Structure 1
Amino acid sequence: MDREAIVSAALHLLNETGLDGLTVRRLAERLDVKNPALYWHFPSKRALLDEMAQMLQARQDFGPPREGESWQQWLTRRGRDRRQILLSHRDAARLVAGTRAGPALIEKFEAELNALVAAGFTPGQALHAIGTITRYVNGFVLDEQAMAEHAAEAPQPPAGAFRATPTLAAAIQEAGDNDAAFEEGLRVLVAGIAARRRAKA
């Protein structure tokens, strides 16, 4: 049993139990080992969660823009990719929040910053641009996954629940589903980053 196998098993267990139900004891039972065997690989649950987050995020297509891809297209694709990665596991947005990136992810992040600097960003502007998109995606998926959990536990609103608030009902119908809402927010953020750069130039 190696670290990678433990982390992979922990991610599978996360889908079943959620983050609150994920314990070292349950993971040890899943792997048919005693708790101390896991602590030999990971000194704390926090260390295990960090590595789970790193393994999950490593599946994302990190790296600079592809040939012929503008930085705006790249940031948009990066945001979409990250959302899909986070939606692939229960409570993934909560899992990655506040975790340490690890050397491999930091190296890839360095290449991304360099690509934006080559496109005319300062290092600080590049950091803010990527960080803004990342935080937007994390927050959106956090809310998305929390609402999904709530919907599974609570009854749906009855038909005609929004009769007293017709503007809200029209807004919900026009705004579309989560995918549409996500895309709109992503467009606004990327356009805002571009406008900010033009203003500073």
Structure 2
Amino acid sequence: MATRLDRTQVVDTALRLLNDVGLDGLTLRRIAKELNVQAPALYWHFKNKQELLDEMATEMFRRMAAEFADGPPGGHDATWQEMLRASCRTLRRTLLAYRDGGKVFSGTRMTDDSYAAPMDALLRELTDAGFTLTDAAHAWWAAYNFTIGLVIEEQSVFPEPGAPEDRGPESRDPAYDLGDRERRLGDRYPLAAAVGRAFFGDFDRAFETGLRIVVAGIEAAVPRGDTA
């Protein structure tokens, strides 16, 4: 007797298949074939691809939030700066585990309230540090959008999913050949040529530097009642 197909099976299969075919190659028909069912069977659970992407992003978030079950990002004694940096690092590593993870996650809607508890805890830490709720929201939004944007750029250079430390030179998209870029631009635009290695060479360093700039900007620009 065949097992009844449910949403969890569909989403788990879609996330696994995403790593093989990428966002553009991920279709309901392809997922149905992987599950050995007819495509119309999936429409009982998802009306279209966007609904499926929303559920995939939500499941990615659930898996990420599970890492904080034993405490907040950065630990119980973390400053708000450490907590913000730890949250962004976890977000980046989670999205890099999925091919096109940044694109899947951005612009999608959560399908349940699983995001609410982690967000409430993060905002409470920021408001306890002296931020107004609005400023706390804008602080997190700035750090979050920086992280999402960098991951999308990073995954265009290194399309294969996985941790940065596991990537080899062969995992770089040939379109981002830095030597070729320097040869084409070097004589006419030497600074634009040289900066390619800062943009596309070391994403760990680019991420940490950018994150430090974002946090420093929040420190400088947002007034707080308690700056301890």
TM range (shorter): 0.7 to 0.9
- Identify unmatched segments of 5+ residues in structure 2: 160-170
Query: In the alignment, what sits opposite 1:23?
Result: 27
Distance in 1, matches of 2:20 and 2:186, equals 38
CA deviation after TM superposition for structure 1 residue 120, in Å: 1.2
Asked whether the equivalents of residues 79 and 133 of structure 1 are also in contact (C-alpha less than 8 Å), the reply is: yes
Kindly report which structure 2 residues correspond to 1:91-102, keeping only aligned pairs within 5 A, or say none. Answer: 91-101=100-110, 102=112
Asked whether the equivalents of residues 181 and 196 of structure 2 are also in contact (C-alpha less than 8 Å), the reply is: no
Distance in 2, matches of 1:118 and 1:88, equals 33
Of 190, 196, 201, the residue aligned with 2:221 is: 196
CA deviation after TM superposition for structure 1 residue 155, in Å: 7.4
Query: In the alignment, what sits opposite 1:142?
Result: 152
CA deviation after TM superposition for structure 1 residue 35, in Å: 1.3
Asked whether the equivalents of residues 64 and 115 of structure 1 are also in contact (C-alpha less than 8 Å), the reply is: no
Query: In the alignment, what sits opposite 1:126?
Result: 136
Q: Deviations over 1:5-38 (max 9, x none)?
A: 2101101111111111110000000000111211
Q: What amino acid is aligned across from residue 39 of structure 1 in structure 2?
A: Y
CA deviation after TM superposition for structure 1 residue 160, in Å: 6.3
Query: In the alignment, what sits opposite 2:88?
Result: 79
The structure that is helix-richer by fraction is 1
What is the count of residue pairs matched by the alignment? 201
Kindly report which structure 2 residues correspond to 1:26-105, keeping only aligned pairs within 5 A, or say none. Answer: 26-60=30-64, 61=67, 64-65=72-73, 66-101=75-110, 102-105=112-115
Aligned: 1:180 with 2:189: no
TM-score, length-scaled by structure 2? 0.78
CA RMSD of aligned residues (A): 2.6
TM-score, length-scaled by structure 1? 0.88
Q: Percent identity?
A: 41
Distance in 2, matches of 1:17 and 1:5, equals 18
Q: What amino acid is aligned across from residue 124 of structure 1 in structure 2?
A: T
Q: What amino acid is aligned across from residue 112 of structure 1 in structure 2?
A: L
Distance in 2, matches of 1:20 and 1:2, equals 24
